[in-house]
Amino acid sequence: MSESHRAIAIHSSNGCSRRQRKALRPRASSFLRHAEHVPPASCRHIGEHWSVGTWSSCSRTCGGGTQSREVQCTRRAHYRSERVSATLCPQPVPSSRQACQPQSCPPAWSVGPWAQCSRTCGRGWRKRSVACRGTSPTARAQPLPDALCNAEPKPRTHEACLRKRCRQHRKLQWLVSAWSQCSVTCESGAQRRFFRCAEKYASGKSREVASKKCWHLPPPDLELERSCTLSPCPGRPPFAAAGPPRARWFASPWSQCTASCGGGVQTRSVQCLAGGRPAWGCFLHQKPAASLACNTHYCPITEKRATEYVFEGTRRQDRSRCPL
C-alpha cells in the first residue's frame, strides 16, 4: 500500500520556521514522523541577543561618580521578548556600570558632629566645627579660606540645647528672727527672738515654711531671751524697791506676707510672759493681734485679660440698649 506524505510548516520557539514531513499510514495507530530542520537566513537577527536599559543618573554631580544600567540576554518568542540564560548570547557582555562626572568639585562646607550640651539639665549650648574644605579625595583634609565657600551659607557653629528639667536643690534649716522690742517702756524688761523653719535655695534666697518640716533638725544653740534696761519710769523714786514682774503680752516681728497682691496674711507669735517665763496674768482684751491682712491691692491684669473685660462690658452695655 502506498504512503501519503504531508509537509507541514511549524514555527519554533524562537520565531524561526522549520518544515516537518509526515508519513500517513491508514491502518496504523500512529504517525511516523520524520522531521528535518530548515533554518532560514531571516532568523539570524531575531535569536538570542543583549538588551540594555538606559543609564541611571550619576551618583555624584562632580568629582567622579558611577552610573549603571540593566543588561540581560533576551530572545523573541511569539512576538515578545523573553529573558534567557546569558550563556546563549554572544560575547562580550555589554558593560553595566561606567564612570561619570569626572570634573572636580568646588570647595564646600565641612561640618563636624555636635559636641555635648554645656549643661546636664536645663538650657545650655553646644557647638561643632565648621570649615571650608576641598571636596576631591586628595584635598579633602586641607582647610581652605572661608571666602572660597561663600556660594553657600555657612552652617551654624552654635545652637541651644535643652536637657531634662533641673531639680531644685533646696535645704531646710532653722533661721533665727530679730530681737523683739523690750517688754517694757521703762526700767528693766526682756527681749526675745524665735526660730523659724525655712527653705534655702541654691540662689541664696530663703522661704519660710511650717515649723514641723524642721522637726528632724536640731535647733541652733542660741540665746532666745535677754534682758533690756530702759530709763526709769516717771513718778517713781529711782531707788524704789522693785516688785515682782508683771505679766505682759509679747509679740514677735511680723512674718512675710503670703501673697504679693490680691490679699495675703502676716502672722506673728504672741505670748504672755512674766520675767521671761510663760504667765497667766495677761488680759485677753489687751492681747495683740496674731494675724494681719497685707497686700490687699488688686493684682495687675495682663493686656489680654483687660481686653476681655472691656469686650464683656461692651457686650453688656449693648445688650441693655436692645429693645424688648
75 shares its domain with 16: yes
143 within some domain: yes
15 shares its domain with 94: yes
156 shares its domain with 218: no
311 within some domain: yes
pLDDT above 70 (res 219): yes
62 shares its domain with 34: yes
What is the Cα–Cα distance from 11 to 16, expressed in whole angstroms?
6
Other Cβ atoms closer than 10 A to 152 = 11
The residue among 270 and 37 whose pLDDT is bigger is 270
Which among 32-36, 44-48, 171-175 has the top mean pLDDT?
171-175
pLDDT above 90 (res 115): yes
226 within some domain: yes
241 within some domain: no
221 shares its domain with 260: no
Q: How confident is the model at residue 314 (pLDDT cuts 50, 70, 90)?
A: very low
**CB neighbour list of residue 61: distance below 8 Å, 6 or more residues apart:** 101, 105
Q: Is residue 107 helix, strand or coil?
A: coil
289 within some domain: yes
309 within some domain: yes
242 within some domain: no
222 shares its domain with 174: yes
14 shares its domain with 96: yes
Tens-digit pLDDT profile for residues 118-130:
988 888 999 999 9
Length of the chain, please? 324
255 shares its domain with 293: yes
- As for how many domains the chain has, the answer is 4
pTM flag (> 0.85): no
Tens-digit pLDDT profile for residues 224-282:
888 888 888 776 555 555 567 788 888 888 888 988 888 888 998 888 888 777 887 78
Domain enclosing residue 257, as ranges: 247-324
Q: How confident is the model at residue 54 (pLDDT cuts 50, 70, 90)?
A: very high
